[in-house]
Structure 1
Amino acid sequence: MKKIHLLVTVSLIYLSSSIVLSAQSETKIGAFFAYGTEIENIGIGANAEFPIADKLTISPSFIYYLPKDENGIKINWFEINANANYYFLDEDSIGVYGIAGLNYSSVKVKYDGNSILGADYSTSDGRIGLNLGAGANFEIGSKITPFAELKYVIIDGGQLVIAAGVKFNL
């Protein structure tokens, strides 16, 4: 629980400072769909992008993976990310960036004892990991910016996350 509190506190400080520093730059808020290879399921997410320097942004995000039910075992999974995006290429039509940051993943597994064993079982776990990846924004000449990302979460078991969605320029 102390790790979660520390992660939330650091993220809020980062966000507060980045909003102040990016008053003259363009902030983006978005929504996306994601696929996680470890959970083998689709998720829905929300993200933001706050510029803090010429080629650097802070990009927090949240992904909630759709619940799974396999043979009476229910799995719920979500992740919170605090990433920094560095733009290697920022042209009129495309912006390509590298991703590095922190990840907090939470998994809850529940089994309803409706079988021969007859026992109910529930457990949950939260882990902190690192994100490494790349993404691209596709400028289409409006306040809506489509984007795609590919990142690997370095955590027990690891997970590749593929995401695509839109960001709205504020």
Structure 2
Amino acid sequence: MKKFILSFLMISGVALTANAQFKAGIHFGYGTEIERPAIGVNAEFNLMEKLSVAPDFTYYFTEKISYVTTNLWELNLNAHYYFLGQDKFKVFGLGGLNYAHYNVKSEIDIPFFGVNTAASDGKIGFNVGGGATYQLIEKLEAFSTIKYTVSSTDQAVFYVGARYLF
């Protein structure tokens, strides 16, 4: 996991210095397999006219059922290829890497005995999908994305959000 996060940061840093155009924003989403909403931050660095690198971090809202609490977050490093572009509207395909980390904690309260168990794990997967952007004003764009992650989660994720153009 440390190697993956270090690689993620290095690629993001190279992308930042590769071109001056940079976008950063927030997104809201929903995971179909875990059936929970999510919130996250994202960025996009243009490498070439139609190609960009788009890292993001997504946190799925905590779920508590009875005595079991589940947390899940993702770190994604995607490439966007813009194959259709009008003045303000653009469509892109995406592909990339995913790291999903979950934590499950159980708290069973038995009189005189407290039983606490916890487990966590992380898996690397692959993303494939697409999306669209629409420039609202000069420095602000809205976007939507749908991707399918092939890993331990095997789920489709829908995002909507906004990015500020630096």
**TM bucket, shorter chain:** over 0.9
Q: Secondary structure at the match of 1:11?
A: helix
Query: Does residue 124 in structure 1 map to residue 90 in structure 2?
Result: no
Query: Does residue 90 in structure 1 map to residue 90 in structure 2?
Result: no
Consecutive unaligned residues of structure 1, counting only runs of 5 or more, are none
Distance 1:76 1:84 in 2: 26
Deviation, 1:118, is 6.2
Consecutive unaligned residues of structure 2, counting only runs of 5 or more, are none
Aligned to 1:103: 98
What's the % identity of the aligned pairs? Answer: 35
Distance 2:149 2:93 in 1: 14
Query: Does residue 9 in structure 1 map to residue 12 in structure 2?
Result: no
* Structure 1 range deviating more: 75-84 or 134-143: 134-143
Aligned residue among 46, 51, 55 for 2:50:
55
Q: For 1:62-73, what aligned pairs fall within 5 Å after superposition?
A: 62-73=57-68
Q: What's the TM-score, normalizing by structure 2?
A: 0.94
Distance 1:115 1:83 in 2: 46
Deviation, 1:159, is 1.2
Q: What's the TM-score, normalizing by structure 1?
A: 0.92
Aligned to 1:160: 156
* Structure 1 range deviating more: 14-23 or 51-60: 14-23
Q: Secondary structure at the match of 2:10?
A: helix
Q: Secondary structure at the match of 2:136?
A: coil
Deviation, 1:121, is 1.7
Aligned residues: 165
Q: Secondary structure at the match of 2:2?
A: helix
How far does the alpha carbon of each residue in 1:71-109 deviate from its partner, in whole angstroms, 9 at most, with x for none? 211001000001100001121121110110000000101
Q: Secondary structure at the match of 1:120?
A: strand
